[in-house]
Amino acid sequence: MKNNIRLYHLLIILALFSGACNLPSGTNGTDTASTAAAQTIEALLSATPAIAAISTSTFTPAAVPATLTPIPILTNTPAVPPTSNCNVMQFVTDVTYPDGAIVTPGQNFTKTWRLKNAGTCTWTPSYAVVFSDGNSMNGPSTQALTSNVNPGQTIDISVNLTAPAATGDHTGNWKIRDASGVLFGKFYVQIKSQSAVTATNTLPPAVAQVVLNAVASESGTLYEPAAGAPLTILAGDTSANDIARGYMSFDISALSGKTIQNASLAIGSCSTMQDPFTSLGGIWVGEVQYALPLDQSDYNIAGTGITLLNAVPGPIDVKNLVQTRTTEGKARFQIRLHPAGPTDADGQADYISCNSGSVTLTITYQP
């Protein structure tokens, strides 16, 4: 760069010299043009070092004044919005059905939470409990608060639910919604839907027992040929060689629909005349359903044989027959006694005789 400047200056000097040679001479004989040229060259030569000095000097920027504030560097980090303390909920405890509680499938139950208003705004009836997600358990989608809850106060919130039919663990999440529709807080119900466990060492079901006497006005004897229906219950033949059939009726109306555990007919109190068991081929005990009041039309009605007696018996098991009648809702259980064969025609009475107040029907059942 320095060489170029110097060359430029030399070219100017040469041009001045050339021009000076053509200028006219002064009056005093002095070469005025030469003098002027020389002065000009001297001036240029003396100025050259300054020009070079300027061209080669180093530029130093001025320092930043201390009073100036540096410009901040911008980034893409979003500004953090201020935190609101208005709606803040704090869970306190499960009042009912804590986490993992076992509930029978399909069972209705009421879940209650205790919550605290830990914010600065009052919860009003414009606030509501709302179902958020999970299993709703047939609970309401929204349920308004019933009173104000001031900051720092607690409230027990209950919702009616139904345990799912499917067994296993089920969870439902809930929140609070303010008057503007903003949701906040979170609390949940968590249950195990499970069938009731049957104990292996359970006691037998409770039972009750009743001892029934025959209803006297509905019991008696029918003869062939017809000869009335006396209250005494006879089965055999008479001295007139008439066949006698005895009937007894027990009131089981209070046992309708019950489960019968045991039922026994006791006619051991009956007495005998002669030997009806041998001469008449035995005495049948059968179950019938005859219309009341007892009359001659009941003589030949169909029945079910229970046992053929060859002596005055002990208790006779009639459980299945009694169960049938109670299941049917019948009001009466009725028995007929009759000889297995025809009269022996010996002109002597041969029979078994029972009193309605002494025969019994003992029934054990589940109440």
Helix ranges (DSSP H) in the chain: 2-20, 32-56, 276-279, 319-328
The torsion angles phi and psi of 324, rounded to 5 degrees, stand at -60, -45
Closest of 220, 214, 240 to residue 295, by C-alpha = 220
Q: How many distinct helices (H) and strands (E) make up the chain?
A: 4, 20
Q: Which residue has the tokens 């039919």?
A: 165
CATH topology for 89-193? Immunoglobulin-like (2.60.40)
Q: How far is CA 34 from CA 9, 22, 37, in A?
A: 18, 10, 5
Residues of the chain with CATH 2.60.40.10: 89-193
Per the DSSP assignment, residues forming a β-bridge with 149 are: 123
The torsion angles phi and psi of 2, rounded to 5 degrees, stand at -60, -40
Per-residue pLDDT of the chain (367 residues; tens, 9 = 90+): 545 555 555 555 555 444 444 444 444 444 444 444 445 445 444 544 443 443 444 444 445 444 445 544 444 544 445 457 999 999 999 999 999 999 999 999 999 999 999 999 999 999 999 999 999 999 999 999 999 999 999 999 999 999 999 999 999 999 999 999 999 999 999 999 998 654 444 545 678 999 999 999 999 999 987 766 677 899 999 999 999 999 999 999 999 999 999 999 999 999 999 999 999 999 999 999 999 999 999 999 999 999 999 999 899 999 999 999 999 999 999 999 999 999 999 999 999 999 999 999 999 999 8
Closest of 270, 285, 284 to residue 333, by C-alpha = 285
What single DSSP character describes residue 367? -
What single DSSP character describes residue 217? G
CATH classification code of 208-366: 2.60.120
Per the confidence metrics, is the pTM higher than 0.85? no
Closest of 178, 181, 174, 172 to residue 149, by C-alpha = 178
Residues of the chain with CATH 2.60.120: 208-366
Number of neighbours of residue 138 by Cβ within 10 angstroms: 12
